[in-house]
Amino acid sequence: MAGFTQSALISKLEELNASQQSIQTLSLWLIHHRKHHSTIVKTWIDEVEKADDHRKLTLMYLANDVIQNSKKKGPEYGKEFGHVLKQAFVSVGDVHCSEKTRSSLSRILNIWEERGVYDKQQIASFRTAFNAALEPQTKRRKLSESNTEVLYDVDAFVSVGDVHCSEKTRSSLSRILNIWEERGVYDKQQIASFRTAFNAALEPQTKRRKLSESNTEVLYDVDGITERHIKLSPKPELRECPETQELIKVLLELETSASSDANIREKIAKLPPEVSEIQLLSKVQDRVAAENLSIQVNEAVDLLTNYNTRLVTEMEDRKRASAMLKDYIAAQRELLEQAEQRLEECQSNLEQVCKVREELQSLAHLPMPEKPLPAAGDLFKIRNHQTNSSGGKHQHNSHSKNKKSSRSSS
């Protein structure tokens, strides 16, 4: 992996796009260079400050990916990003923030709160800063004398809905929302977000779909559409399992271990028998031969000592690789079970969607009236016309009768 420099970081941030592959690739690079976390986070917040709305959201997606996926490597990024995230949310809210950006960032905050990435106080400060930046200056409510901003946000409605909410409380809050909407206290988008949050909080716990504690929800922007990806992760007790790339690296290193070194093994096999067989010392005739044999013995000792040290290291590496494989296989089995459960859920949802589609198709074959039904106004016109017609006939008949009676009397 390429070495770290600030210029390389800036270049990679400038090349970053909203695709899942781009975000994950840069996230892995940043996690690999986590010892430079201070410089990385400082550069990141600088880029956020000067980016446009769409790019700010992409940078927030990147931060989300780095923060969540670096937790098992160390807390450096979580702590460092925690110092600047409030500033980042204010920066994102200060621009002409789209509804898509609002909902995406609100979802990220909810994920962090559910996963315990940051404590509730930090999440509340991030959310308050973001909502305050979004709210128009003319619509900020200030308490008299203290100038304390009263920020009505989604959290308040979630908090009320989370308890066992009575019917009276529901109707009262619904009435408050209607009044706010009628009087323009908040815009329609904000009112809708309050109402949605409150209704979701009222929903029974058995119907709430929450991520398991071991999984991570990550948001990506694909062709202008925000996609929600659930990244399956093993249970907490299996979190220390190695990364795939790390395991591959260890296994590849074992291919060049001492026992696989054919050259050294060949040198050992070609050592003369005199260096290992004591009985052959009797064949030494003079001092020169003895010195030559001594040199050979010393070289053989060095060769064998070095090889033996490498073999001991290899044994330790193989034990470590065996433990890593054991953990990795256990984690993959756990992920397989989770994936199968997700597949069953998706298949169940698909069956329900297909049933609804079939019902809708059957409705298409219902007979349609040849003539459209008359409108209510037309019905009144027809009735008035009939009344007038009957009145005219009645007058004509009366007139005829009067004529007949006058003739008979004459």
CB atoms within 10 A of CB 335: 18
Instruction: Give the per-residue pLDDT at 371.
Output: 60
Neighbours of 83 (CB within 10 A): 12
- Alpha carbons 232 and 240: distance in angstroms, whole number: 15
Return the domain boundaries, the chain: 6-231, 244-361
Q: Which long-range contacts (CB under 8 A, 24 or more apart) does 296-303 make?
A: 296/271, 296/272, 300/271, 300/275, 300/276, 303/264, 303/267, 303/268, 303/271
Which ranges in 142-243 belong to alpha helices (H)? 154-162, 167-183, 188-202
Answer yes or no: are the C-beta atoms of 71 and 78 closer than 8 Å.
yes
Q: Locate 66 and state its tokens.
A: 């780095």
Contacts of 357 (CB under 8 A, 6+ apart): none
Strand, helix or coil at 117?
A: coil
CA distance 410 to 408: 5
Residue 3 is classified by DSSP as P
In angstroms, how far is CA 296 from the centroid of its own chain? 65
Spatial distance between the Cα atoms of 264 and 260, rounded to a whole number of angstroms: 9
How far apart are alpha carbons 316 and 187 in whole angstroms?
A: 65
Which residue is listed with tokens 């840069």?
Answer: 26
Each of the 410 residues of the chain gets a pLDDT tens digit; together they read 557 888 888 888 988 888 888 898 898 889 888 888 899 999 999 998 888 877 888 899 999 999 988 877 777 888 899 889 988 888 887 756 778 888 888 889 988 888 888 888 888 888 888 888 776 533 443 433 333 333 345 556 655 655 556 777 777 788 888 888 887 777 777 787 777 777 766 664 334 444 444 455 555 555 555 555 555 555 555 446 778 888 888 888 888 888 888 888 888 888 888 777 777 777 777 888 888 888 888 888 888 898 898 889 889 889 988 988 988 898 888 888 888 988 988 898 898 888 888 877 776 666 665 666 666 666 566 555 555 555 554 555 555 545 555 554 44
Distance, CA of 243 to CA of 28 (rounded, Å): 11
Radius of gyration from C-alpha coordinates of the chain: 39
Let me know: does 297 contact 275? Beta carbons within 8 Å: yes
Select the CATH number that applies to the domain covering 6-231 from these four: 1.10.1740.10, 1.10.540.10, 3.40.50.10490, 1.25.40.90: 1.25.40.90
- Nearest-CA neighbor of 233 among 364, 331, 356, 90? 331
